[in-house]
Structure 1
Amino acid sequence: MPSPASTFVVVVVFLFVVSLSDRDCEAADKDHDFCFSFDGLEKNRSFDSEFALYGDAEMSGSAVRIAQPAYSSSGRIAFRKAIRFFGTKPGFSSSFSFSISRGDGGALAFFLSPSGLPLVSAERDRLGRSTGDVAVRFGRFNVEKLGELGGSFIEIDVEGETLTRSSNLTEVGLILNSGEKLRSWIDYDGESKRIEVRLSQARNPRPRNSSVSYSIDLSNVLWREAVFVGISFSSGNSTHTSSIYSWNFSVKHGAPYLMHSEPLNPDSFLVRSTESPSVHLRKASPWGVFMAMVFAAACGAMLAFFMMLVWAVLAARRPVAPVESPVGVAYGKIVSAGDTCLDNVK
């Protein structure tokens, strides 16, 4: 029978291994509170439970094809759980690889949309506009439509207003509607109050300089309510298609808030926070949980040791049974008291 000490050691080692094997991207990135990732259906078996496709979007091999090769086709991919930002300096980072088929027209957009608005399908706007509070759009249009800004461009919109637009990306060898696989990095830093967008070929590393940037405080926009995060595409008056090959998103001072599999319908049920968001989104430290489990295991081992000790003491104190044996009586030596008295009288 194993000793309590060896049992305790085995339990501690088991709990430690479990705690290490249960790490995810949330625990791996210490600088962010929450993150999710998509890197092809074959590498992410939980795709259906984490992501939702709307409109004409569908899986195509290990990628997501957002729009079909048809006029006015549109669709989007979105993370199923809304994200709630909190803290004094909320921020987020997103990177994704994509491609847009050859030709003019159509636009792809990364967006943060209020959770109170249903994400049924992407809007069929030729600029790929969405209902998002924050949107970054990638598109290419004819010169006669957008003047000197014709060609490939990146646009930053907040609450429906265009804040800034990049110069012609074609001049630096970046053509969005070429069918080439590209990668974009979108970062909003709550410390510097600045949003930056980078773009390069997917095979190249992250550029040092941003393609377009803008200084703005998005705290009030991010605090207003929980948001859905997604990527949309609209072909407009063309037959373009667009595919998403990978997508990573992380937030600083934020976490999943509305734990529903589908976006809510505001006409039926709308949840708004009436208390401090930090109360709802407080997360337990992984090491704190691990130490609590170790403490519980130690208490269990001590209890088992005490019970074994009591059992050993009780087993050592065996009861002593009396030995039964016949008692002999010397009848011959018994003298009647009455006979003795008679002899004395005589």
Structure 2
Amino acid sequence: MSLPCFALVSTILSILSFFYLVTAATEFDFGTLTLGSLKLLGDAHLNNGTLTLTRELAVPTSSAGRALYSRPVRFRQPGTPSPASFTTFFSFSVTNLNPSSVGAGLSFLLSPDDDTIGDAGGFLGLLGPLSSAAAFIAVEFDTLMDVEFKDINGNHVGVDLNSVVSTEVADLANIGIDLKSGDLINAWIEFDGSSKGFSVWVSYSNLKPKDPVLSMNLDVDKYLNDFMYVGFSASTQGSTEIHKIEWWSFGSSFAVAEAEAAPPPPPAVSLMNPTANSVKSAPPSLAPSHSEEKESKSKSSCHNGLCKQNLGAVAGVVTAGAFVLALFAGALIWFYSKKVKRVNKFDSLGSEIIKMPKQFTYKELRTATKCFNANRIIGHGAFGTVYKGVLPENGDIVAVKRCSHSSQGKNEFLSELSIIGSLRHRNLVRLQGWCHEKGEILLVYDLMPNGSLDKALFEARTPLPWPHRRKILLGVASALAYLHQECENQVIHRDIKTSNIMLDEGFNARLGDFGLARQTEHDKSPDATVAAGTMGYLAPEYLLTGKATEKTDVFSYGAVVLEVASGRRPIEKDANGGGKAGISCNLVEWVWSLHREGRLHMAADPRLEGEFDEGEMRRVLLVGLACSHPDPLTRPTMRGVVQMLVGEAEVPIVPRTKPTTGFSTSHSHLLLSLQDSVSDCDGIITISTSTSENSFNLGDIV
């Protein structure tokens, strides 16, 4: 085999070796998992996309369950001295239906066995009292203090190595985590196969904490087989504890650097002559014979001729290669200059608009969202789709808004970017960064683990408690007071509604979606624009004039207040409210009618079953009506609303009968017909107005 051929073969072998190492890696997340890709043992079951590990019973019972990824993960392979590194992230909750009963807990598990499950109680489904199961590695989140297993308390995380007596343990109370709170808890686990570093982070937040709660050097040689199954195990001990996994992602890989650092192959001559290494060279003092010298010269002459031919061929190849390379470089430079010119035109604009948040690359966000996988979609806005993403750099969980490609979508993107990028308030959704590449417009926000307020009100299995509702309303009011009166320039949101109010891990309100927002100087009269927003939340004067003011935001907030207090959507089919079945009922009008009849307390959400302070409920409902007053000048400021909600100011007197507006009868009929025409309270309506002629055209409902 000639040297060039050998080099080519060697290169191919190196490439194949690299791809072997890459393909040995495993990667998946909960968005792509199905019942077919999970193996469920014991009481584990999949329900509506949530993995539940133990029985869901209101009566005390002992239960154990195990859920594993159905395909084994390679952790060792020939030629690599170190085991695979892995990272995993999961969101889980532990709920106790009967607080007086005790629990046990759950664990993340690596096991060579996918067929058996351990006992309930303190064994966490990992093993039994007489078990001789194959070695395993587990990270336990223990909710039961069991003296037999040397537990420090009933709220800790520990590393278990073939035993439920933890090798390392950390008290979660030290970082403010209560496993039995029922709240969603996030956990990150990382293992470096080269350094043997093993770390665990735990937080209520989607942002990975700076410091791990537990960190150690873990020698896994005794516990890892070539292939292991990964998943979860949980148990209860005569309790009503429920263990749920809401999200899970996992990735493993082998260090490619190890293969590159392997000893180099023997010299090329040795490979071309397999016996060369076993034949000793002649001593240098022995001169060759005459015949040997002649033969050597002959061979040398032939070799020199061959070398001349090869040199000519090589020169030709090099020349041709240089020409092709020059053409390629020229094309690349031309393409890059065009791309930079096109991108920089936007980026210079973006850098002027927004300086604080980070500019992400398209590759980062594409990786974070698994190529914008449909299973990662967590919401749809008026001008784009929102995906759940895991940033590869630091493991943070984010929401990535992929704006629509229409000109309107780009305008809304620029509006949102320019406004929210400069805002800082604890009750606003934080913008982490943005990206504009490959024709894509992307915004990156903090992910709110408890979703939107409308889902918490109407889609949750248990009603949102009254204290949470009061705290949320106060948070939104505080955010609007900041936008209206505390910013350098006044910001009018124009789309206040429950689906744009997000809830963080503590059910604190975070107002988001500034795509329709407008920024003006304080005390400056607003210009008439195309009225936009969602029916049921729109102030009547805004529909007529197209002028968005802080008072139109106040009206929208009033509708939100009544929605939160009553548990009814702002516009919904009236099945039992006294009207004809199937006719759209306006929430604001309905609450005004109850107030007129002296039955305002009847507006309270019946699902709360009276679990609220009647005085607080009445105050909140009156605040909602005051904000929904037909006369914009009579509505309170948002700063005043904050004072009313905290009890520092009295709610203004709200007349029993809803005051009449200054609009003509035809205008009133128009407003009613517009509101009755929309039953989907998430629909965005755009209305073109002409203030001189008072003519109206109903636009598209997006």
Change (3 A) 1:118 1:212: same
Q: How many Å separate the matches in 1 of 2:73 and 2:23?
A: 17
Partner of 1:58: 45
Instruction: Tell me if the contact between 2:35 and 2:46 (Cα under 8 Å) persists in the aligned partners.
Output: no
Of 154, 169, 178, which residue of structure 2 is paired with 1:165?
169
* CA distances 1:256-309 after superposition (whole Å, capped 9, x unpaired): xxxxxxxxxxxxxxxxxxxxxxxxxxxxxxxxxxxxxxxxxxxxxxxxxxxxxx
Q: How many Å separate the matches in 2 of 1:176 and 1:31?
A: 37
Instruction: Tell me if the contact between 2:71 and 2:229 (Cα under 8 Å) persists in the aligned partners.
Output: yes
Change (3 A) 1:237 1:174: same
- Whichever residue aligns with residue 154 of structure 1, its letter is V
> How many residue pairs were aligned?
216
1:231 shift after superposition: 0.3
Partner of 1:4: none
Partner of 2:673: none
| Superposed counterparts of 1:8-23, under 5 Å | none
| Superposed counterparts of 1:21-60, under 5 Å | 33-39=25-31, 44=32, 47-60=34-47
Instruction: Tell me if the contact between 1:185 and 1:197 (Cα under 8 Å) persists in the aligned partners.
Output: yes
Q: How many Å separate the matches in 1 of 2:236 and 2:184?
A: 18
| Superposed counterparts of 1:169-184, under 5 Å | 169-184=172-187
1 or 2, which has the higher strand percentage? 1
Matched, 1:111 2:109: yes
1:118 shift after superposition: 4.2
Instruction: Tell me if the contact between 1:55 and 1:122 (Cα under 8 Å) persists in the aligned partners.
Output: no
Matched, 1:73 2:63: yes
Q: Secondary structure of the residue that 1:89 maps to in structure 2? A: coil
Change (3 A) 1:148 1:93: closer
Q: How many Å separate the matches in 2 of 1:57 and 1:31?
A: 30
Partner of 1:94: 88
* CA distances 1:216-260 after superposition (whole Å, capped 9, x unpaired): 2214532x3421111011012312111111111111229xxxxxx
- Whichever residue aligns with residue 35 of structure 1, its letter is E
- Whichever residue aligns with residue 189 of structure 2, its letter is I
Instruction: Tell me if the contact between 1:107 and 1:127 (Cα under 8 Å) persists in the aligned partners.
Output: no
Percent sequence identity is 26
Q: TM-score, normalised by structure 2?
A: 0.29
Partner of 1:191: 194
- Whichever residue aligns with residue 119 of structure 2, its letter is E
Instruction: Tell me if the contact between 2:29 and 2:248 (Cα under 8 Å) persists in the aligned partners.
Output: yes
RMSD in angstroms over aligned alpha carbons? Answer: 2.8
1:112 shift after superposition: 0.7
Partner of 2:209: 207
1 or 2, which has the higher helix percentage? 2
| Superposed counterparts of 1:1-346, under 5 Å | 33-39=25-31, 44=32, 47-68=34-55, 69=57, 70-86=60-76, 87-90=80-83, 91-102=85-96, 103=99, 104-114=102-112, 117-131=113-127, 133-142=136-145, 149-160=152-163, 162-166=166-170, 168-201=171-204, 203-222=205-224, 224-253=225-254
Which structure has more RCO (C-alpha within 8 Å, separation ≥ 6)? 1
- Whichever residue aligns with residue 210 of structure 2, its letter is R
Q: How many Å separate the matches in 2 of 1:143 and 1:109?
A: 16
Structure 2: runs of 5+ lacking an equivalent? 1-18, 128-134, 256-702
Q: How many Å separate the matches in 1 of 2:148 and 2:111?
A: 28
Q: Secondary structure of the residue that 1:72 maps to in structure 2? A: strand
Q: How many Å separate the matches in 2 of 1:194 and 1:179?
A: 31
- Whichever residue aligns with residue 164 of structure 1, its letter is E
Q: How many Å separate the matches in 2 of 1:127 and 1:248?
A: 25
Structure 1: runs of 5+ lacking an equivalent? 1-26, 255-346
Q: How many Å separate the matches in 2 of 1:34 and 1:144?
A: 38
Q: How many Å separate the matches in 1 of 2:72 and 2:29?
A: 15
Q: Secondary structure of the residue that 1:233 maps to in structure 2? A: strand
Instruction: Tell me if the contact between 2:155 and 2:179 (Cα under 8 Å) persists in the aligned partners.
Output: yes
Q: TM-score, normalised by structure 1?
A: 0.57
Change (3 A) 1:121 1:141: closer
